[in-house]
Structure 1
Amino acid sequence: MKSKRKNDYSKLKNKIFLKMILVIFATVATVILLRFAIQKYFSFGDTIADFLMNIFHIPDRTAIMITHFLFIYNIEAITLIVILIFLVILLKFSISWFTKYFDEVSDGMDKLAEEYDEEITLSPELAFMENKLNQIKNNLQKQKKAALEAEQRKNDLVVYLAHDIKTPLTSVIGYLSLLDEAPDMPLKQKAKYVGITLEKAYRLEQLINEFFEITRFNLQAIVLDKEKINLLLMLQQMADEFYPMLTPQEKQVSVNVPDGLTLWGDADKLARVFNNILKNAVAYSYENSVIDISAVQQDKNIVITFTNQGNPIPQGKLDSIFEKFYRLDTARSTSTGGAGLGLAIAQEIVTAHDGIISVESNRESTTFTIKLPS
C-alpha cells in the first residue's frame, strides 16, 4: 500500500517557486545572449552586403544602402522582435508546465464522476489534492453502498409487509363471512369471532400505517416547534399509555425523573422519540421485568435513559440499529415486527434538536441514552 504523503501545499509551492526562479534566470540569460549574438552578427555589414550582391546580384551601393536601412539602423528593433518571439515560446512552455496540474486534477475529477474503481493517483506535489479526491471517492462509495442497502431493505420490507397484510386480511374476510352466513350464531361464539376480527383489523391498520411511514420518512422535513416541556409529566403519561401492552406479560415501567425538570424542544416530536424507544424496549424485554426511564441534569444537558432487561443486542448490530429500515428481528414476528424506521426517525429528531442518541447492550440490560440541550 502506498505510504501516505504530506497533505498540504508545501511540495507544490516549493516546486512552483523553483520553476519560476528557473524561468526568470532562463529569460534573463536568453535576452542577454540574443542581444549579444544579434548585435555582434549584424555588426558585419559587409557580410550582409556581399550576401545580397551574390545571391540577388544587387549593385554594391544599393546592397550597402539596403543593409544599413533595413538592418544596421534597426538593430534594436530586430533584437527586440527576436527576443519577444523567444519569450512567447518560453512562456508557452512554462504555461504548459503549470497547466498540466490542472489536467491531472481534471482527469481525477473525471475518474471521480465515472466512479473509477482504482485509487486516483496524481503527481507527488499534488498529494494534498490526491488525498482529497480519494477521500471524496471513498465517501461517495460508502454513501452509494448505504443507499443501495437501505433501498434493498426497504424493498424487502415492502414485500414482507405486503405478504403480512394478506394474513390478517384473509382472517377478517373469513370471520366476517362466517358472521354473514350464520346470522343466528350463538352470542358467545359471535362475540369471539367479532373479537378476533377486530384484532386482525387492528393489525391490518398497523401494517398499512407502516407503509405510509416508509413513504413519509424520505419526504418529510423535520421542522421544530420548540416549547418548554415538563419531562416528568410527559414520560409518566407515556408510561400510562403503554399499560395495555405491558399487562399481558406483567411488565412494568418505572419513571425516575426529578420533579420540575424541564426541557426546551418540540413536544410532539420528542414524544415520538420516547414512544419509539419505549415501544422497542417493551417489545424486546423479558416477561415480568421492569423498564426503567430516568432523566438527570448534566451541566447544560439533560440525559434521558431507557433501560430494559432482555436478550442483548449483538455488538455487530449496534452500529446499524439506527439505520433506516433496519430490523433486529429478521424473522419478522408479528409481535415485534415493524418497518424498521422507529429508531432511525428517533435519531433524526434528536439530531435536529442538536442532541445525541446512543445504545449500549450487554447480558444484563440494554440502555438507550438521549442527551439533549436543556
Structure 2
Amino acid sequence: VKAFVWQESTPDEALIHSGLRWYRLRDFLMVIFVLLCFGITIAVWLISRYRAKKEVRRHLELLSRQLSAYLEEANPDLSLFSSEFSSIGLLIGQLRERTLEKERLLTQETRQKDDLITYLAHDLKTPLASVIGYLCLLDESPTLPDELREQYIGITLDKAYRLEQLINEFFDITRYNLHTIVVNPGKIHLRSMLLQMADEFFPILEPEGKSILVNAPPDLVLIGDADKLARVFNNILKNAAAYSYENTVIEINVEEKDNQVVLAFTNQGDPIPAHQQDTIFDKFYRLDSSRSARTGGSGLGLAIAREIVRAHGGTITVSSTLEDTTFTVTLPENPQDCS
C-alpha cells in the first residue's frame, strides 16, 4: 500500500492560486455589476414609461374637461382652454366655425327648397284658377255672344302663356343653380340689340307714357352669349317697366371702361331700401309684399340675370336714391373671361 504523502505548496504555487481566486472574484463582480446596471436601466425605463402614461392620462383628462366645458357653452370662448392646449383650442374653434357654417348653408338650402315649393304653388295657383274659371264659363254657356266668347278665350290664352312663363323661369333657375352655365361667346353689336329690345317693350310702356332711351356707342362690339345676355337685359327692363313711374323715361347708358363694358339701366320709381339692395338678386325676392300679378314675375328674373352675368365673368349691382334706381351690369370685353 502506497502511503499518501502531504506536500506543502511552495510560495510560488500559493501566489498563483491566490491570483486565480482574485480573477474569479473580479469576473463575478463584473457580472453582478452588469446585471445590476441592466436592472437599473430596465427599472428606470419602466418608471419613466409609467410616469409618461400617467402624465398623458392627466393631460387627456384635463383636455376632456376643457372640451366638455367648451361644447356645453352656447357661445364658447377659446379662453376655456389652458395655455398648453391653446393651439388645440384654436383648431377646434376653426372646426366648429366650419361646421356651423355648413349647418347654416344646409338650413338655408332647405329653406330655399321649401320656398320653391311654396312660391311655385302660389304663383301657379292664380293663373291656373283663371284658366279653369274661364274655360268653365265657356263650357257652361254655349250661347255666349261671340264678342264675349272671344274675350274669354283671349284672357284664358294670356293666363296659359303666363303659366308657361312661370314654369320656364322655375326650370331656368333650377338649371342655373345645379349646372354650370355654358357660355357660347360671339360678337354682339350692343347698340343694335338694345334698340331692338326697346322696340319690343314699346307696346308695354306706351299705354303708361313710358319710354326707353338708349345711349350706346354705335360701333361697340361685345363678346358674349347673345341669347343669354338678351335674357339679362330683358329681365332688368321688365323690372324697370314694372316699378317705374308713369310718364317717365328708362335710360340705358353704355360705356367702355378699363377693358370692360358697363351698362347702366336707370328708371324713376320708388327707391329700394338700402337693407334690401343686397337681397334683391335672391330668388323669389319681390319689392311688393303682396306679390301681386300687376308687377310681374315670380321674383326669379334678377336671380337668373345674376347667374348669367357671373357666368360671363361680370357683375351686376343696384343703387337707389329718392330720384332714381340704377342697375349696373359690368362685363369683360375679353372673351377669355367668360366661363
After superposition, the Cα gap between the structure-2 partners of 1:325 and 1:76, relative to the gap in structure 1 and judged at 3 Å, is farther
Q: TM-score, normalised by structure 2?
A: 0.73
In structure 2, stretches of 5+ residues that fail to align are 1-21, 334-339
| Change beyond 3 A, Cα 1:81–1:321 | farther
Once the 2 structures are TM-superposed, how far is the Cα of residue 148 of structure 1 from its aligned partner? 3.1
The structural deviation recorded for 1:190 is 2.1
User: Which 10-residue stretch deviates more, 100-109 or 363-372?
Assistant: 100-109
One-letter code aligned to 1:118: P
| 1:29 aligned residue | none
Which of 316, 322, 328 in structure 2 is aligned with 1:357?
Answer: 316
Check whether the contact 1:303–1:369 (CA below 8 A) recurs between aligned residues. yes
Tell me what 2:190 maps to: 231
Alpha-carbon shift at residue 326 of structure 1 (Å):
2.5
Aligned partners of 1:112, 1:213: CA distance in 2, in Å? Answer: 45
Between the aligned partners of 1:221 and 1:111, the Cα distance in structure 2 is 44
* 1:274 counterpart letter in structure 2: F
Question: Hey, what's the Cα distance between the residues in 2 that align with 1:218 and 1:83?
Answer: 68
Q: Deviations over 1:112-166 (max 9, x none)?
A: 9999863556554776775565456446545644553464355345334424433
- Distance in 1 separating the partners of 2:66 and 2:251: 54
In structure 1, the partner of 2:258 is 299
Cα distance change, pair 341–138 in 1 and its aligned pair in 2 (3 A): farther
Q: 1:118 aligns with which of 76, 93, 97?
A: 76
Distance 2:111 2:223 in 1: 37
Aligned-partner Cα distance in 1 for 2:312–2:67: 36
For structure 1, the residue ranges without an aligned partner over 5 or more in a row are: 1-63
The yes-or-no answer on 1:72 pairing with 2:30 is: yes
Instruction: Report the counterpart of residue 41 of structure 1 in structure 2.
Output: none
| Shift of residue 204, structure 1, vs aligned partner | 2.6
2:240 to 270, 277, 281: 281
Does 2:309 match 1:331? Answer: no
Rg (Cα) greater in structure:
2
Q: 1:179-199, CA deviations, whole angstroms, 9 ceiling, x for partnerless residues?
A: 334444322222222222222
Partners of 2:184 and 2:225 within 8 A in 1: yes
Pairwise CA RMSD = 4.3
Q: Aligned match of 1:317 in 257, 276, 281?
A: 276
CA deviation string 1:256-280 (max 9, x = no partner): 1101112222222222222222221
Matched letter for residue 327 of structure 1: R
What are the residue-to-residue correspondences of 1:23-42 with 2, within 5 Å? none
SS in 2 for 1:354: coil
Map residues 1-374 of structure 1 onto 2, 5 A cutoff: 68-69=26-27, 72-73=30-31, 75=33, 79=37, 82=40, 86=44, 118-119=76-77, 122-124=81-83, 134=93, 137-138=96-97, 141-142=100-101, 144-145=103-104, 148-149=107-108, 151-156=110-115, 158-374=117-333
Instruction: Give SS of 1:340's match.
Output: coil
Q: 1:181 to 1:219 in 2, by over 3 A?
A: same
| Partner Cα separation in structure 2 for residue 125 and residue 292 of structure 1 | 64
Q: Distance in 1 between matches of 2:229 and 2:72?
A: 42
Structure 1 residue 253, shift from structure 2 partner? 1.0
The 8 Å contact of residues 153 and 325 in structure 1, kept in 2 or not, is answered as no
How far did 1:357 drift?
1.7
Mark the CA change 1:167 to 1:343 in structure 2 (over 3 Å): closer, same or farther: closer
**Cα distance in 2 for residues equivalent to 1:147 and 1:311:** 35
Looking at structure 1, the residues matched to 120 and 72 of structure 2 have their Cα atoms a distance apart, in angstroms, of 37
Counterpart Cα distance in 1 of 2:55 and 2:305: 54
User: For the structure 1 residues 165 and 285, does the alpha-carbon distance in structure 2 shift closer, same or farther, using more than 3 Å as the test?
Assistant: same
Distance 1:320 1:71 in 2: 90
TM-score, scaled to structure 1? 0.67
CA displacement, residues 65-108 of structure 1 (integer Å, 9 cap, x when unaligned): 99754652575686477558746876897899899999999999
Counterpart residue type for residue 221 of structure 1: T
SS of residue paired to 1:168? helix
Deviation at 1:244, TM superposition (A): 2.7
Rounded to whole Å, the distance in 1 between the matches of 2:39 and 2:187 is 81
Consecutive aligned runs of 4 or more in structure 1 exceeding 6 Å deviation: 64-67, 91-116
Query: Is the Cα–Cα contact under 8 Å of residues 150 and 325 in structure 1 kept in the other structure?
Result: no
Contact between 1:232 and 1:258, CA under 8 Å: does it hold in 2?
A: yes
After superposing the two structures, state which structure 1 stretch, 76-85 or 91-100, moved more. Answer: 91-100
1:300–1:217 Cα change, 3 Å:
closer
Deviation at 1:285, TM superposition (A): 0.9
